[in-house]
A and B are shown apart, each in its own frame.
Chain A
Amino acid sequence: MHEMAITQSLVDIIAEEMRAHRAGKLLNVRVQIGQMTAVVPDALRFCFDILTQHTPMAGAELIVEWVPVQARCESCERTFEVKDHAFVCPVCGRSAAATSAGRELSIVEIEVE
């Protein structure tokens, strides 16, 4: 399960930040996960609970912000939400190559004491 590898990286970053800020306990962590990633939020929570057992992160809440997929039209330069994985501009009908959102796997904030 790759969520384990992803969660391990997340826990490593939190530990580093907690050390840098001399924090004793993690209350919650906010992450942004794009809809076009290989991540199932429930699996992430499950792995987070396992990996944080008996650590200062145990019991902390994992807050997941789910980011919809967006793309930018290269012709009319509009940004639009990608529905049903169709990278086609709803305004001019041209196809868009790259995502502008929806590929996030980011930590954004932690709350500690």
Chain B
Amino acid sequence: MKINVVRNILEANARIAAENRELFAEKKVLVMNLMSSPGAGKTSLLEKTIDSLKGRMAIGVIEGDIQSSQDAERIAAKDIPVVQINTGGACHLDGNMIRDTFHHFDFDALDLLVVENVGNLVCPAEFDLGEDVKVAILSVAEGDDKPAKYPLIFHESQALLINKIDLLPYVDCSVEKIRAESLKINTQIAILEVSCRTGLGISEWCAWLTDRIAAKGLGIK
């Protein structure tokens, strides 16, 4: 007997992500899903972003890692509410793992929640967390062929940060090629060049992020 079953395989995650999104809207919190390969600079960017924006808005952080809590400790040093998720081997976060952290946060007092996803260019983009924006980081040390090799993350992200611009003199990497290839995959993507080491581009990045809060119709609490 053949049975027609037209269902989204990830429907269970999609349902939880939708509930998360509803809660974030109700609580007027902007949620960002930050994705990159390991070492591209997610935690460094977070540190810079917190330093720039902390006086102006209330920020919370979820740190996703396969193991260890080193990144969470780096963020906690900034006196910011932070929760560590250890996925215990899983290569991405999902909606349920995010929901499980909710009791740690006072969303009524939060403006921005940043989720640092597990370091991985392949699959975090596949799993909806309920976030408002997905942001990808690619560092110049990884090479300019990455958009063509891992198109999904570039296709799904609203912004791409090209990080470690200070290293350009030492690596064979064309920022122009990264821009062109990313725009081919995603014509709407915002591309910003930054260096978490020198601080280049960080104020432009923070302006972009602050604009997202306004674009969602949220104010600063």
Q: Is there an interface contact between A13 and B122, defined as CB atoms closer than 8 Å?
A: no
B92 at the interface (CB under 8 A from A): yes
Q: Is there an interface contact between B8 and A106, defined as CB atoms closer than 8 Å?
A: yes
Q: Is there an interface contact between B186 and A87, defined as CB atoms closer than 8 Å?
A: yes
The residue on A at minimum CB distance from B188 is: A97
The residue on A at minimum CB distance from B126 is: A38
Main secondary structure of the interface of A (DSSP, over half): mixed
- The residues in A between 97 and 113 inclusive whose CB is less than 8 angstroms from any CB of B are 97, 99, 105-113
Q: Is there an interface contact between A2 and B1, defined as CB atoms closer than 8 Å?
A: no
Of B1, B5, B152, the residue contacting A13 (CB under 8 A) is B5
B7 at the interface (CB under 8 A from A): yes
B90 at the interface (CB under 8 A from A): yes
Q: Interface residue tally of chain B, by bracket? A: 20 to 34
Cα of A22 to Cα of B183 in the assembled complex, Å: 50
B185 at the interface (CB under 8 A from A): yes
Total count of chain A residues near the partner, CB < 8 A: 35
A76 at the interface (CB under 8 A from B): no
- Write out the residue numbers on chain A whose beta carbons fall within 8 Å of the beta carbon of B1: 21, 23, 111-113
A67 at the interface (CB under 8 A from B): no
Cα of A72 to Cα of B122 in the assembled complex, Å: 25
Q: Is there an interface contact between A108 and B6, defined as CB atoms closer than 8 Å?
A: yes
Cα of A72 to Cα of B115 in the assembled complex, Å: 32
Q: Is there an interface contact between B152 and A37, defined as CB atoms closer than 8 Å?
A: yes
B residues contacting A by CB (< 8 A) are 1-13, 90-92, 94, 122-123, 125-127, 147-148, 151-152, 155, 183-188
